[in-house]
Amino acid sequence: MRLLPAIRRPFQDICVMVPTYRGEFEPPMIEENKEQEYLKQLLVSDRTATDKALTLMYHNMR
């Protein structure tokens, strides 16, 4: 299988199929309520601001 180069698309067309060696990959849909609850729990935790920022950054990269 030949991998295709990245293609720039309009912002509205977020769900882009990504070719892989195991077939097309479609990321799972994000549940807004779960994300809001995660963010609220992260913000009220006793972690440092740096730890919160890095945790959120890596969470959003998934």
- Pick left, alpha or beta for residue 11 (phi over 0 → left; psi -120 to 50 → alpha; otherwise beta): alpha
Q: What pTM value is reported for the model?
A: 0.56
Which pLDDT belongs to residue 20? 78
∠ CA 27-53-39, rounded to 5°: 60
Task: Please give the chain's pLDDT, 62 residues, in tens.
Answer: 555 555 555 555 556 667 778 877 777 888 999 999 999 999 999 999 999 999 999 998 87
| DSSP-derived secondary structure letter, 45 | S
